[in-house]
């Protein structure tokens, strides 16, 4: 019992004498086949959990090792786990070099996200998508969604606007909810961060562009990113994870020689003309803008105390006036062995971001939207002089308008690992994310005069949002083996709290030239608060037999401040099984199987995950609003004591296959998710006169197949060429509407997004006209289903080639099929008298046939298929041979070029992606509301970027 | 004890410690603040000092919502849609109801749902005030109770005017308009009993009796109102800053498209609501809407006089009415950015040199259209093109009745009343039909009502002669109304 007592002593005092040891293990880790040194590889003695990471030259050193026999293990994302026995004599220096094999199948990868603590991928019945350092190096974007775009085989990431700091749509297995967005929860080193990816409650509405918290998550110094989809994989996250979880892991300190890298990137961006109705819009508004970025990173220290840091300066001028941004960020990580059994790791990240924006949609103040929507007339019919005059006028207006935003964000994760004895690990994490975002729109009197509005309506609107997120998590993990059985037991507790405070200041009739709300005739203010606290405990058991049969089961129980008073703990169970069939003797004994299918893992699971309800929606309230200087009380939400989270039950079955001597890795999964107790904002019967209230009444099903493949086409010493591809099917349906009337989750009165039994979430509903051969309107189906915002099929393509280990080419693309969107800009052109040719039937004289028809009845003619294939990135780099520069200080030199958003192939007349981040795209948003992306509405697409990159290692 | 067992035991003990720490003591120490809703709960409100005064201000806000507001880009009040459903305005752009322009009345139309909800909210709020708030506030006065009865009466009056059949309470069976009006009469009577002599209650009572076809009672109330204060007007007040928008102002003036375009013969009255419509405009330029005004008492009295065959009496009443209208405020401002477009983008006639005929048979009149390149002057409460000479020249009862309906049309423009004069009634919305157990899709209430003598699609159609600078409206609905005065659907006093 002495060791156990000792363990308790560790917990209680953490004061344990450190005994000096003098043996040391060192060596170099390289990639098998190419002999390239691998930095950042974790090398450790399994029994002691003692180890370090390799430095830039691939070297490691484990000092202070007590004499004995150990298992030396090396792990690195994207490579197979290496292990070998080592015996260390007192005072000896053991050299153990290691060659790591690439791991296409990922079975040996160690996964943390969704497991409480580290578990080997082969033991899991669920899947995890990992972005490797190699992928990160090819696409050094400075915002998370850009970095992940077309890189996650099972998720879609679409930008709602080309403007800086704006929201995106991140979606994997279809919308599980008709009341919240599809954005996954995001963790950085175990700490939950602000992931608001829709308009904020008091944010400034500039049409289609809505601010997001994703673009300024501090991204410096990332080692890898894990993504798990909602379902059994996210059960341990409880009431917060039905949309999946993205976790970012930052680089740990690396012992050994200090290494520095300096990277500079220069280039330009230009507005894409691919989707413009009028080429003249581009002539008037677009111009190339400079992009520059400088990054300095370094690492060093020893096994006992090490550090790593990275900082960057980024700036661009935008692709049009009024769209520039600057971002500065840094991250520092410090690791220390506090005692032989306790390891500390602390990471601090900070980002500051400043940007300007223009107004979108058909707002009277907009520039792009008004040109494309035809407010200025049919540009294609105008003379060069007329275009020049419009250009001068618009640029004058753009110059007078100001929309400025800034974000300051601090994020930290503090982690203690305690290994009191072999096979037993404790982990404690405390962390926070503090984000302050301020945006200010100034409509000066001179600006309003220029757009023909009374200068007395001049305004400053300042919107501020402060987010404070706190995460506390403690986990105990025990690994044990009895005969052929192995056990991983995990027990943990997690607390998180979000505090979202917003203010809006509005100053009206302002002084010319001021940016202060003080200098105005009238000032008003508003605030908004959203606070939620969640307390969860979980237990998980993973049992293996002969290292090929695995079963796992887990349970998480949550209490949450957003639940109604009648709801106590909500419990989420999961159960799963995995079977490494190819490890059976008969399989290994068959040369044919070994060649064709050398690896086959079967897996299945059933698990629950949840979405907690909108905070405070459970309370019964009276609305107190100021009216003309006095306070007025009226009915507000009636509250719901039985409000509880949406629970998503997901069943999965699938296989991981290694084919043709492991040259092809294929992952196949069928999933069926059923959202029980789906939260619908239920309208009461109109004669009750009450505001709609959130109730758990619906049921939504998402199901489909997921295929992800990776193939080595050529794998010789000179050329390594591999392709990746994924295909996901999606079938979404509201299977039970709880007996309530269909309700709208966004869009317009003439054409909205609705929720109705038997239809996909947010399907398009409106008038569907039928025309005869002569183009006469003969019939109209009212409230017809006009399309779905959700694709039937989506996926990614990638190409990754390496030539002589010096030249690297990286291409990513993604696609979708079977979704629809609405050409709202053309609705505006219709009102301005020149709709797109052919959209509306005409008679023999060329007159529109709908002159007297009800405009609502022809809404369907603006619905288009939004199939697309977009090449997101072409990145090429070259490692310059050191004989070419012969500098004693410069260790390596890489030169690269990168083109972002080079090619678009689309079925629609508009950019199918730039269709809003909120259901109510372009017409005002709802914080964290349904986001499906349907309405193309006066918003610029993400620009094309051309960049030259130079990277120096010292 | 073997190693495994010891390890498992250790794990369990540590785990228990950890869970204990995380779920109890730890939370309080590390996250000591409880989660507290910053807003006002119902119980808090009822325990405030003098909640009744605050509740009545809320009632004022609620009637503004019920008439005319938009929230999250949805029309919540009935007013803009009612204007579209009449011949006053055509909807030539996107964001307001399009079905009603050609009188397509479909119970899935959102407008009906939000309008019924807001009007029902007005009724339920009045009931809540009369019961819960009055019980919680011992200082409640009779005048405050009278106001609550008035608002309750307004809710029933509006329900009866807009729907031919609808529930009179939450989840109730549909009842005909006459029952809604009967409850409204009782409510206004209670209001007058508690606060005698109020002109607004009296005008509301006269309006309700007119709807009921009770000529004598309507006349008595109208005469009482005229005697008390003929210039009276009660407004629904809007407040842009605090998200209480005059939606019809947005439709006729605010939006760049100026979605609602008037019938050319009413051009001189457009836009009644603008951000310059002083003095009925507050600081932030949101115009208020008169929903009870003295003019209505004259119009009811004159209509009753005509029904009684008293042409001379009606002429005298209408001439007096002109005096009231003449005294109402006007606003002068620029409306040059109104694009005056038809649906589909073609130009509508605009300019003061146009002549307008009310129908192909009617004479062309000038002065009905304004030159919008210059600053314009428009009435903001009431205006009319009718002159004392035209009233004096009236020779017959029907001719007088036709002119009276033109006066009603002009005086009430933008206030949502014309649709009611035309006998158009909405359907009870689908959301009610689906959930309310006492009403079904087979009920008459599930459908709207459009008198078959109305030229639905062509109601606001006109022919333009560019060369002659003339506009000829295809149908003079005031004439059609008088021709069909025997119908139960229109002209209730006849």
Best of B75, B91, B96, B117 to mutate (most A CBs within 10 Å, chain A): B117
Closest chain A C-alpha to B152 CA, distance in angstroms: 13
| Cα(A146)–Cα(A741) distance, integer angstroms | 39
3-state secondary structure of B18: helix
Residues in A touching B39 (Cβ below 8 Å)? 616, 619, 621, 623-624, 636
- How does strand A59-65 pair with strand A23-31? antiparallel
pLDDT tier at A62, thresholds 50, 70, 90 = confident
| Cα(B347)–Cα(B353) distance, integer angstroms | 16
Q: What pLDDT was estimated at residue A253?
A: 65
Element holding B482 (H helix, E strand): helix B477-483
* pLDDT tens figures, B210-245: 999 999 999 999 999 999 999 999 999 988 777 788
Neighbours of A95 (CB within 10 A): 9
Best of B4, B9, B17, B18 to mutate (most A CBs within 10 Å, chain A): B18
| Cα(A115)–Cα(A125) distance, integer angstroms | 11
Neighbours of B367 (CB within 10 A): 11
3-state secondary structure of A166: strand
Q: How far is it between the farthest Cα atoms of chain A? A: 100
Please answer whether residues B356 and B363 qualify as being in contact, where contact means their C-beta atoms are separated by less than 8 angstroms: no
Q: What pLDDT was estimated at residue B6?
A: 57
Strand partners, A574: A554, A607
- How does strand A23-31 pair with strand A98-100? parallel
Which pair of structure tokens corresponds to residue A633? Answer: 């009380």
What is the full DSSP assignment across A560-612?
A: ETTS-TT---EEEEEEEEEEEGGGSHHHHT-HHHHHH-SEEEEEEEEEEEEEP
Please answer whether residues B470 and B462 qualify as being in contact, where contact means their C-beta atoms are separated by less than 8 angstroms: no
A632 and B125: CB-CB below 8 Å?
A: no
Residue carrying structure tokens 């507001």: B69
- Please determine, for residue B31, whether its predicted confidence score (pLDDT) is greater than 70: no
CA distances from A589 to A546, A598, A655 (A): 17, 11, 21
- Bigger pLDDT: B429 or A91? B429
Best of B39, B278, B430 to mutate (most A CBs within 10 Å, chain A): B39
- How does strand A807-817 pair with strand A599-611? unpaired
Chain centroid to Cα A280, Å, comes to 35
Q: What is the 3-state secondary structure (H, E, C) of A415-459?
A: EEEEEEECCEEEEEEEEEEEEEEEEEEEECHHHHHHCCCCHHHCE
Residues in A touching B98 (Cβ below 8 Å)? 750, 854-857
B7 and A533: CB-CB below 8 Å?
A: no
- Please determine, for residue B364, whether its predicted confidence score (pLDDT) is greater than 80: yes
pLDDT tier at A20, thresholds 50, 70, 90 = very low
3-state secondary structure of A262: strand
Contacts for A897 with CB less than 8 Å, ≥ 6 apart: A875, A876, A877, A946, A947, A948, A949
Q: What pLDDT was estimated at residue A3?
A: 46
Q: What is the 3-state secondary structure (H, E, C) of A103-151?
A: CCCCCCCEECCCCCCCEEHHHCCCCCEEECHHHHHHCCCCCHHHHHCCC
Q: Which of B115, B121, B107, B105 is nearest to B75 (CA)?
A: B115
Please answer whether residues B355 and B267 qualify as being in contact, where contact means their C-beta atoms are separated by less than 8 angstroms: no
Count the helix, strand and coil residues of chain B and give each as a percent rounded to the nearest 5. Answer: 50, 10, 40
**Where would I find the beta strands (DSSP E) of B270-329?**
289-293
Per the omega criterion (within 30 degrees of 0), is the bond before B279 cis? yes
Write the residue in A452, A621, A687 that is nearest to B169 by C-beta: A687
Neighbours of B326 (CB within 10 A): 12
* pLDDT tens figures, A635-665: 999 999 999 999 999 999 999 999 988 889 9
- Please determine, for residue A14, whether its predicted confidence score (pLDDT) is greater than 60: no
- How does strand B364-365 pair with strand B330-334? unpaired
Q: Which of A911, A901, A939 is nearest to A285 (CA)?
A: A939
Residues in A touching B344 (Cβ below 8 Å)? 830-831, 833, 848, 850-851
Please answer whether residues B151 and B190 qualify as being in contact, where contact means their C-beta atoms are separated by less than 8 angstroms: no
Q: Which of A310, A297, A312 is nearest to A348 (CA)?
A: A310
Q: Which chain A residue shows the shortest CA-CA distance from B38?
A: A529
Task: Report, as an integer, the average pLDDT of B290-316.
Answer: 97
Please answer whether residues A503 and A201 qualify as being in contact, where contact means their C-beta atoms are separated by less than 8 angstroms: no
Please answer whether residues A564 and A643 qualify as being in contact, where contact means their C-beta atoms are separated by less than 8 angstroms: yes
Strand partners, B290: B235
Residues in B touching A421 (Cβ below 8 Å)? 7, 10
Q: What pLDDT was estimated at residue A11?
A: 39
- Bigger pLDDT: A254 or A577? A577
| Cα(A771)–Cα(A759) distance, integer angstroms | 25
Q: Which chain B residue shows the shortest CA-CA distance from A747?
A: B73
Please answer whether residues A614 and A562 qualify as being in contact, where contact means their C-beta atoms are separated by less than 8 angstroms: yes
Contacts for B103 with CB less than 8 Å, ≥ 6 apart: B85, B424, B450, B454, B456, B457, B459
| Cα(B219)–Cα(B203) distance, integer angstroms | 10
Q: Which of A694, A658, A701, A664 is nearest to A679 (CA)?
A: A694
pLDDT tier at B481, thresholds 50, 70, 90 = very high
Task: Report chain B's mean pLDDT, rounded to a whole number.
Answer: 90
Spatial strand order of the sheet with A68-75 comes to A50-53, A42-45, A68-75, A82-88
The DSSP symbol for A859 reads G
The DSSP symbol for B349 reads P
Half-sphere exposure of B12 (CA within 13 A, CB side): 6
* pLDDT tens figures, A159-202: 888 888 888 889 999 999 998 889 999 999 999 999 998 888 88
* pLDDT tens figures, B320-352: 999 999 999 999 988 888 888 887 778 899 999
Residues in B touching A457 (Cβ below 8 Å)? 275, 285
* pLDDT tens figures, A912-944: 998 875 544 434 467 888 888 889 888 899 999
Q: What pLDDT was estimated at residue A10?
A: 40
The DSSP symbol for A718 reads S
Please answer whether residues A169 and A156 qualify as being in contact, where contact means their C-beta atoms are separated by less than 8 angstroms: yes
Neighbours of B138 (CB within 10 A): 8
* pLDDT tens figures, A691-749: 889 999 999 999 999 999 999 888 777 888 989 999 999 999 999 999 888 888 888 87
Q: What pLDDT was estimated at residue A844?
A: 64
Q: What pLDDT was estimated at residue A428?
A: 94
Q: What pLDDT was estimated at residue B23?
A: 53
- Please determine, for residue A13, whether its predicted confidence score (pLDDT) is greater than 60: no
Closest chain A C-alpha to B405 CA, distance in angstroms: 27
The DSSP symbol for A240 reads B
Which pair of structure tokens corresponds to residue A930? Answer: 């349904």
Which pair of structure tokens corresponds to residue B164? Answer: 């031919």
Task: Report, as an integer, the average pLDDT of A426-443.
Answer: 95
- Please determine, for residue A16, whether its predicted confidence score (pLDDT) is greater than 50: no
Write the residue in A476, A494, A848 that is nearest to B15 by C-beta: A476
Residues in B touching A631 (Cβ below 8 Å)? 54, 57
Write the residue in B7, B117, B275 that is nearest to A689 by C-beta: B117
B73 and A749: CB-CB below 8 Å?
A: yes
| Cα(B188)–Cα(A333) distance, integer angstroms | 74
The DSSP symbol for A882 reads G
Q: What pLDDT was estimated at residue B458?
A: 83
Please answer whether residues B47 and B137 qualify as being in contact, where contact means their C-beta atoms are separated by less than 8 angstroms: no
Q: What pLDDT was estimated at residue A2?
A: 47
Please answer whether residues A61 and A303 qualify as being in contact, where contact means their C-beta atoms are separated by less than 8 angstroms: yes
- Bigger pLDDT: B414 or B286? B414
Please answer whether residues A405 and A441 qualify as being in contact, where contact means their C-beta atoms are separated by less than 8 angstroms: no
Among A380-394, A660-674, B28-42, which is the least confidently predicted range? B28-42
Among A330-334, B39-43, B124-128, which is the least confidently predicted range? B39-43
Please answer whether residues A188 and A414 qualify as being in contact, where contact means their C-beta atoms are separated by less than 8 angstroms: no
Burial of residue A781, with CB atoms counted within 10 A of its CB: 0-12 exposed, 13-18 middle, 19 or more buried: middle
Q: What is the pTM of this model?
A: 0.87
Burial of residue A497, with CB atoms counted within 10 A of its CB: 0-12 exposed, 13-18 middle, 19 or more buried: buried
Closest chain B C-alpha to A614 CA, distance in angstroms: 12
Residues in B touching A632 (Cβ below 8 Å)? 54, 57-58, 60-61
pLDDT tier at A4, thresholds 50, 70, 90 = very low
| Cα(A9)–Cα(A3) distance, integer angstroms | 10
Please answer whether residues A261 and A951 qualify as being in contact, where contact means their C-beta atoms are separated by less than 8 angstroms: yes
Strand partners, A601: A580, A656
Q: Which of A312, A196, A341, A172 is nearest to A245 (CA)?
A: A172
Q: What pLDDT was estimated at residue A363?
A: 76
Q: What pLDDT was estimated at residue A924?
A: 46
Chain centroid to Cα B345, Å, comes to 28
Residue carrying structure tokens 């001068």: A392
| Cα(A633)–Cα(A618) distance, integer angstroms | 19
CA distances from A738 to A676, A696, A735, A772, B429 (A): 11, 9, 9, 39, 19
Q: What pLDDT was estimated at residue B283?
A: 54
Which pair of structure tokens corresponds to residue A59? Answer: 């070297």
A739 and B435: CB-CB below 8 Å?
A: yes
- Please determine, for residue B368, whether its predicted confidence score (pLDDT) is greater than 60: yes
| Cα(A676)–Cα(A610) distance, integer angstroms | 9
Task: Report chain A's mean pLDDT, rounded to a whole number.
Answer: 88
């Amino acid at each position: 019992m002495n060791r156990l007592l000792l363990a308790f002593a560790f917990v209680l005092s953490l004061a344990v004498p450190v005994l000096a040891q003098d043996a040391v293990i060192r060596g170099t880790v390289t990639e098998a086949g190419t002999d390239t040194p691998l930095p950042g590889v974790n090398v450790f003695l399994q029994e002691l959990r003692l180890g370090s990471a390799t430095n830039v030259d691939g070297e490691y050193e484990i000092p202070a090792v007590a004499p004995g026999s150990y298992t030396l293990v090396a792990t690195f994302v994207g490579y197979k786990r290496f292990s070998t026995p080592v015996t260390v004599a007192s005072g000896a220096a053991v050299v153990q070099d290691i060659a790591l094999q690439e791991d296409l199948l990922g079975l040996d990868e160690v996964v943390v996200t969704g497991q409480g603590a580290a578990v080997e991928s082969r033991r899991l019945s669920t899947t995890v998508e990992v972005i490797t350092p190699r992928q990160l190096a090819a696409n050094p974007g400075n915002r998370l969604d850009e970095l992940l775009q077309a890189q996650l085989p099972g998720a879609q990431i679409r930008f709602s606007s080309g403007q800086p700091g704006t929201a995106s749509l991140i979606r994997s297995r279809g919308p599980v909810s008709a009341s919240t967005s599809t954005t996954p929860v995001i963790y950085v080193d175990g700490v939950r961060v602000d992931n608001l990816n829709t308009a904020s409650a008091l944010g400034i509405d500039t049409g289609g562009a809505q601010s997001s918290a994703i673009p300024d998550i501090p991204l410096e110094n990332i080692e890898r990113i894990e993504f798990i989809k909602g379902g059994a994989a996210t059960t341990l996250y409880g009431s917060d994870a039905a949309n999946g979880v993205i976790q970012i892991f930052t680089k740990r300190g690396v012992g050994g020689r200090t290494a520095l890298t300096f990277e500079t990137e220069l280039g330009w961006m230009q507005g894409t003309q691919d989707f413009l109705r009028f080429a003249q819009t581009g002539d008037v508004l677009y111009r190339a803008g400079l992009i520059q970025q400088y990054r300095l990173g370094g690492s060093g220290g020893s096994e006992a105390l090490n550090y790593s840091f990275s900082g960057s300066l980024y700036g661009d001028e935008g692709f049009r006036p009024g769209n520039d941004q600057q971002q500065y960020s840094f991250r520092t990580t410090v690791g220390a062995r506090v005692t032989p059994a306790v390891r500390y790791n602390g990471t601090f990240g900070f980002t500051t971001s400043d940007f300007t924006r223009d107004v979108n949609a058909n707002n009277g103040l907009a520039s792009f939207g008004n040109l494309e929507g035809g407010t200025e007339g049919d540009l294609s019919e105008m003379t060069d002089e007329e275009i020049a005059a419009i250009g001068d006028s618009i640029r004058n207006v753009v110059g007078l308008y100001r929309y400025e935003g800034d974000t300051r964000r601090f994020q930290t994760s503090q982690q203690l690992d305690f290994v009191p004895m072999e096979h037993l690990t404790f982990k404690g994490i405390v962390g926070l994310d503090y984000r302050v975002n301020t945006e200010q729109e100034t409509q000066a009197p001179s600006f309003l005069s220029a757009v023909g509005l009374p200068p007395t309506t001049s305004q400053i609107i300042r919107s501020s949002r402060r987010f404070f997120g706190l995460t506390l998590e403690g986990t105990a993990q025990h690994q044990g083996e009895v005969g052929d059985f192995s056990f991983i037991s995990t027990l943990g507790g997690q607390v998180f709290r979000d505090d979202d405070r917003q203010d809006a200041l509005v100053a009206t009739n302002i002084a010319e030239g001021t940016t202060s709300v003080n200098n105005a005739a009238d000032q008003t203010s508003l605030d908004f608060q959203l606070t939620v606290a969640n307390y969860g405990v979980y237990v998980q058991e993973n049992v293996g037999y002969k290292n090929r049969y695995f079963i796992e089961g887990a349970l998480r129980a949550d209490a949450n401040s957003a639940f109604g008073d009648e709801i106590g703990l909500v419990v989420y169970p999961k159960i799963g099984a995995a079977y490494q069939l190819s490890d059976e003797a008969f399989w290994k004994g068959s040369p044919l199987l070994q060649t064709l299918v050398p690896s086959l893992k079967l897996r299945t699971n059933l698990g629950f995950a949840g979405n907690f309800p909108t905070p405070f929606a459970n309370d019964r309230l009276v609305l107190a609003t100021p009216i003309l200087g006095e306070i007025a009380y009226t009915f507000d939400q009636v509250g719901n004591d039985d409000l509880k989270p949406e629970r998503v039950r997901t069943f999965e079955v699938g296989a991981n296959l290694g084919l043709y001597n492991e040259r092809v890795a294929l992952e196949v999964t069928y999933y069926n998710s059923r959202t029980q107790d789906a939260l619908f904002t239920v309208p009461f019967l109109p004669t009750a006169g009450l505001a709609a209230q959130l109730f758990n009444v619906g049921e939504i099903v998402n199901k489909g197949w997921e295929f992800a493949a990776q193939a080595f086409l050529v794998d010789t010493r000179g050329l390594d060429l591999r392709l990746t591809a994924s295909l996901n099917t999606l079938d979404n349906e509201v299977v039970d509407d709880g007996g309530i009337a269909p309700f709208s989750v966004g869009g317009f009165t003439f054409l909205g997004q609705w929720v109705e039994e038997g239809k996909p979430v947010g399907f398009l509903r409106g008038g569907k006209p039928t025309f005869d051969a002569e183009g006469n309107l003969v019939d109209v189906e009212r409230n017809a289903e006009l399309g779905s915002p959700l694709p039937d099929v989506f996926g990614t393509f990638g190409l990754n080639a390496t030539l002589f280990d010096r030249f690297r080419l990286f291409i990513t693309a993604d696609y979708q099929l079977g979704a629809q969107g609405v050409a709202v800009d053309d609705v505006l052109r219709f009102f301005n008298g020149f709709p797109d040719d052919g959209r509306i039937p005409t008679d023999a004289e060329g007159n529109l046939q709908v002159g007297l028809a009800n405009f609502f009845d022809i809404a369907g003619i603006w619905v288009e298929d939004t199939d697309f294939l977009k090449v997101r990135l072409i990145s090429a780099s070259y490692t310059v041979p050191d004989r070419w520069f012969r500098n004693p200080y410069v260790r390596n030199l890489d030169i690269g070029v990168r083109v972002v958003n080079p090619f678009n192939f689309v079925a629609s007349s508009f950019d199918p992606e730039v269709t809003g981040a909120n259901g109510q795209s372009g017409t005002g948003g709802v914080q964290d509301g349904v986001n499906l992306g349907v309405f193309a509405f006066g918003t610029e697409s993400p620009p094309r970027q051309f960049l030259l990159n130079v990277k120096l290692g010292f | 004890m073997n190693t495994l067992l010891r390890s498992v035991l250790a794990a369990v003990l540590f785990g228990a410690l950890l869970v204990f720490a995380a779920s109890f003591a730890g939370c309080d120490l590390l996250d000591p603040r409880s989660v507290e809703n910053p807003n006002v709960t119902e119980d808090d409100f009822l325990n405030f000092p003098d909640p009744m005064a605050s509740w009545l201000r809320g009632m004022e806000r609620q009637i503004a919502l019920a008439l005319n507001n938009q929230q999250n880009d949805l029309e919540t009040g009935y007013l803009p849609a009612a204007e579209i459903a009449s011949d006053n305005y055509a909807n030539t752009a996107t964001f307001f109801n399009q079905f009603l322009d050609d009188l397509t009345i479909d119970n899935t139309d959102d407008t009906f749902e939000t309008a019924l909800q807001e009007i029902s909210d007005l009724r339920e709020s009045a009931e809540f005030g009369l019961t819960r708030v009055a019980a919680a506030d011992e200082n409640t006065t009779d005048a405050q109770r009278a106001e609550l009865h008035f608002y309750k009466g307004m809710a029933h009056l509006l329900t009866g005017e807009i729907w031919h059949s609808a529930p009179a309470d939450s989840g109730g069976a549909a009842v005909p308009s006459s029952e809604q009006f009967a409850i409204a009469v009782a409510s206004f009577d209670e209001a007058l009993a508690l606060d005698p002599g109020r002109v607004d209650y009296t005008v509301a009572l006269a309006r309700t009796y007119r709807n009921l076809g009770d000529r004598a009672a309507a006349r008595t109330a109208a005469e009482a109102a005229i005697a008390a204060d003929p210039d009276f007007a009660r407004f629904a007040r809007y407040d842009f800053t605090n998200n209480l928008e005059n939606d019809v102002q947005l439709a006729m003036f605010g939006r760049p498209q100026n979605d609602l375009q008037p019938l050319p013969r009413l051009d001189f009255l457009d836009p009644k609501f603008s951000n310059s419509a002083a003095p009925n405009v507050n600081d932030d330029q949101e115009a208020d809407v008169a929903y009870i005004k003295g003019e209505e008492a004259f119009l009811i009295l004159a209509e009753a006089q005509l029904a009684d065959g008293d042409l001379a009496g009606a002429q005298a009443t209408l001439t007096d009415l002109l005096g009231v209208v003449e005294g109402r405020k006007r606003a002068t401002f620029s409306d040059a950015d109104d694009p005056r477009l038809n649906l589909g983008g073609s130009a509508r006639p605009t300019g003061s040199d146009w002549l307008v005929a009310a129908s192909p048979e009617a004479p062309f009149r000038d002065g009905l259209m304004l030159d919008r390149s210059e600053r314009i002057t428009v009435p903001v409460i009431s205006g009319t093109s009718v002159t004392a000479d035209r009233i004096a020249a009236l020779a017959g009862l029907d001719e007088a009745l036709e002119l009276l309906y033109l006066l009603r049309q002009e005086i009430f423009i933008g206030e949502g009343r014309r649709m009611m004069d035309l006998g158009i009634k909405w359907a009870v919305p689908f959301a009610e039909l689906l959930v309310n157990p006492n009403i079904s899709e087979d009920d008459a209430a599930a459908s709207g009502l459009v008198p078959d003598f109305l030229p639905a699609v062509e109601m606001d159609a006109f022919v333009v002669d560019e060369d002659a600078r003339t506009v000829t409206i295809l149908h003079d609905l005031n004439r059609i109304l008088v021709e069909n005065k025997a119908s139960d659907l229109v002209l209730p006093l006849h």
